Chains A and B, each alone.
Chain A
Amino acid sequence: MEGERKVKTEFAVIGGGPAGLTAAIEAAKLGVEVTLIDENFKPGGQLFKQIHRFFGSKDNFAGERGFEIGNMLLGDAEKYGVKVLLKNVAWGLFEKLKVGISDGNKINILEPERVLISTGAIENSIAFPGWTLPNIMGAGAAQTMINVNRVLPGKKVITVGSGNVGLIVSYQLVQAGAEVLAVIEALPKVGGYQVHASKITRMGIPILTSHTIKRANGNKEVENVTIVQLDQKFNEIIGSEFDLDCDLVCIAVGLRPLAELCWMSGMRFDFISELGGFVPVHDENMQSSIKGVYLAGDLTGVEEASTAMEEGKLAGLAVAESLVKINKNKFNKEVSEVRERLRSLRLGPYGEFREKAKERLIKSYYDGGRY
């Protein structure tokens, strides 16, 4: 390609969310020269729109708010000399680990010795008549608007989906000055944590389980939605429809790994629904089926920021070890600590199935991946 510039670096990190930042910091701390690429104006991924306190233990900043953790990580990245390339899109991963990046004007080729892909996840949606009307958006988009850009997209809100994202964003919309009329959930029970559900129910926001959105109505934007009750087999109950006037519909029906770069590069995948669908396989040290390319965070299974940071740390350590920047004993000790923390984060009714799914993902790596 004409005019392209080749840039050498030891370790290229693609995606500067909690996983990528933690990996970059960990490797840089151990003397690895790190370049972090992020397509946004600021690194931090989704952390800067998380204004609530995080669960977990002291080791994973429990009780701190997401954006505060983001600030801490940015401080550390600077302190340890991580080179950050913002407003740059990584558009391809080629042979010999070459990474094509573009800032919109020109194309550069990074030539790293190791690569981490930590591109996170993307929101799922559901289709229904009228779903393309303006002001029907992903809950994450609404959250970015209120918490990052300080714009209230609507004042009368219906949230579809009662997982933690739906519950938290509903709460935060009320903090931002909106009225949430209802949270709609197709399953017969609430998806997210009971404590998050309680925060909104005690304000009088109903969570309508076994209900779904049938259609959205409106001329230029959403003005009204039709809601219908579902039976145990998820069939609509005829005659149970009712309408609610609203000016914003937030869709919070889960996330899936954002894995285009992995697909393009020919990586091996598996399909594990508990982790969000198609997931690139990796070994116990986060290395993908392409030698020298590591993975971490939601890309390898949709979980929490806390697990993403631990996986990032693991990948950062593994990269440093492979570049002989850390001695084997120290590496083994640190890795076993990370694994212990990851295990504790994957306990309980919301964690155990993820622990099992991650075990399957690693097993699939050794079996060559199904896709």
Chain B
Amino acid sequence: MVNKNFKNITKGVLSLEEIKKFPGYPSEERFKKGAVAVIECIEEIPCNPCETICSRKAIIVGNPITNLPRFIDEDLCTGCGNCVIKCPGLAIFVINKKFSKKEASIALPYEFLPLPEKGTKIIGLNRKGEEVCQGSVYKVLSNKAVNHTNVVTIVVPKQFADKVRFFKVLN
């Protein structure tokens, strides 16, 4: 079955409204509870490493393998971020809208060198690569286990948590 939402993609960029319709996007209620995986995987491609890696069985793909990844129980997800590393599409982020009163954290896969350092000032980029806000690097995870898919956690003003998906270093 061809996904009906597929036809909405014209320039490779989905709007937030469209992406929120997919089953890997957590609910606002879940976001209120803290860090959670945000899965921006919207096409029925045969792929399930996110399900395989999830020790909490929070992410389900099931059979057939082309099912979109979804949460059965969003509360099972602890926001551990293992799926961020393993997703071949680099389509999973861990977002914590409760990071602080005014800020949210976004953990994203980052496969570029040099790696930024903690505290580095950044500009948050949206799904189209447009600059939307400023922020800073909170954490950089880079070790043998991530196997070159490093995880950089950035902190941005809360209202941009659903928008920012990449960053560039502020010069």
A binds B: yes
Q: A351 on the interface (CB 8 Å rule)? A: yes
Q: A42 on the interface (CB 8 Å rule)? A: no
Q: Tell me which of A5-13, A21-29, A49-57, A148-156 binds B.
A: A49-57
Q: Across the interface, do B43 and A348 meet the contact criterion of CB distance under 8 Å?
A: yes
Q: Tell me which of A119-127, A190-198, A268-276 binds B.
A: A190-198
Q: Across the interface, do B88 and A204 meet the contact criterion of CB distance under 8 Å?
A: no
> Of A54, A57, A63, which one neighbours B65 at CB under 8 angstroms?
A57
Q: Across the interface, do A204 and B111 meet the contact criterion of CB distance under 8 Å?
A: no
Given A63-B53, A63-B86, the answer on whether A197 and B12 have CB atoms closer than 8 Å is yes
Contacts of A189 in B (CB 8 A): 9-10
Interface centre among B3, B64, B129 (most CB of A within 10 A): B129
Q: Across the interface, do A207 and B45 meet the contact criterion of CB distance under 8 Å?
A: no
Contacts of A54 in B (CB 8 A): 88
Given A202-B127, A203-B125, the answer on whether A350 and B112 have CB atoms closer than 8 Å is no
Q: Which chain B residues in 118-138 approach chain A with CB under 8 Å?
A: 125-130
Q: Bound state CA distance, A338 and B129, in angstroms? A: 41
> Of B66, B87, B89, B128, which one neighbours A201 at CB under 8 angstroms?
B128
Q: A188 on the interface (CB 8 Å rule)? A: yes
Contacts of A162 in B (CB 8 A): 12
Interface centre among A56, A189, A200, A348 (most CB of B within 10 A): A348
> Of A195, A201, A203, A348, which one neighbours B44 at CB under 8 angstroms?
A348
Q: Across the interface, do B127 and A188 meet the contact criterion of CB distance under 8 Å?
A: no
Contacts of B2 in A (CB 8 A): 349, 352
Q: A264 on the interface (CB 8 Å rule)? A: no
Q: Across the interface, do A195 and B90 meet the contact criterion of CB distance under 8 Å?
A: yes
Interface centre among A52, A53, A65, A197 (most CB of B within 10 A): A53
Q: A344 on the interface (CB 8 Å rule)? A: yes
Contact with B along A162-203 (1 / 0, CB 8 A): 100000000000110000000000001110011111111111
Q: Across the interface, do B129 and A203 meet the contact criterion of CB distance under 8 Å?
A: yes
Contacts of B10 in A (CB 8 A): 188-190, 209
> Of B6, B52, B165, which one neighbours A63 at CB under 8 angstroms?
B52
Chain B residue nearest to A174 in the complex (CB): B112
Q: Which chain A residues in 44-74 approach chain B with CB under 8 Å?
A: 52-58, 62-63, 65
> Of B43, B129, B166, which one neighbours A193 at CB under 8 angstroms?
B43
Q: Across the interface, do A350 and B129 meet the contact criterion of CB distance under 8 Å?
A: no
Given A62-B88, A198-B12, A204-B130, the answer on whether A349 and B44 have CB atoms closer than 8 Å is yes
Q: Across the interface, do A52 and B11 meet the contact criterion of CB distance under 8 Å?
A: no
Contacts of A237 in B (CB 8 A): none
Q: Across the interface, do A62 and B48 meet the contact criterion of CB distance under 8 Å?
A: yes
Q: Bound state CA distance, A57 and B45, in angstroms? A: 11
Query: How many residues of chain A have a CB within 8 Å of chain B?
Result: 41
A-B pairs with CB below 8 Å: how many? Answer: 133
Query: How many residues of chain B have a CB within 8 Å of chain A?
Result: 43
Q: A145 on the interface (CB 8 Å rule)? A: no
Q: B14 on the interface (CB 8 Å rule)? A: yes
Q: Across the interface, do B47 and A56 meet the contact criterion of CB distance under 8 Å?
A: yes
> Of B13, B89, B112, B125, which one neighbours A55 at CB under 8 angstroms?
B89
Minimal beta-carbon separation of A303 from chain B (angstroms) = 11
Q: Across the interface, do A201 and B13 meet the contact criterion of CB distance under 8 Å?
A: yes
Q: Bound state CA distance, A306 and B106, in angstroms? A: 32
Minimal beta-carbon separation of A231 from chain B (angstroms) = 15
> Of A58, A196, A202, A349, which one neighbours B6 at CB under 8 angstroms?
A349
Q: Across the interface, do B129 and A344 meet the contact criterion of CB distance under 8 Å?
A: no
Minimal beta-carbon separation of B35 from chain A (angstroms) = 21
> Of B12, B45, B147, which one neighbours A190 at CB under 8 angstroms?
B12
Q: B60 on the interface (CB 8 Å rule)? A: no
Minimal beta-carbon separation of A355 from chain B (angstroms) = 11
Q: A345 on the interface (CB 8 Å rule)? A: yes
Chain A residue nearest to B166 in the complex (CB): A202
> Of B40, B45, B48, which one neighbours A350 at CB under 8 angstroms?
B45
Beyond A53-B87, A175-B111, A349-B6, 19 additional pairs, beta carbon < 8 A: A55-B88, A56-B47, A62-B47, A63-B87, A193-B89, A194-B14, A195-B43, A195-B91, A201-B11, A202-B125, A203-B129, A203-B166, A204-B130, A344-B65, A345-B46, A346-B46, A347-B64, A349-B2, A351-B46
A–B Cβ pairs within 8 angstroms, 25 of them: A52-B88, A53-B87, A56-B46, A62-B48, A62-B49, A62-B52, A63-B52, A63-B53, A189-B10, A190-B12, A197-B13, A198-B127, A200-B12, A201-B12, A201-B127, A202-B125, A202-B166, A207-B11, A207-B12, A209-B11, A347-B46, A347-B65, A348-B66, A349-B3, A351-B45
Which positions in B face A, CB cutoff 8 Å? Answer: 2-3, 6, 9-14, 40-49, 52-53, 64-66, 86-91, 111-112, 125-130, 147-149, 165-166
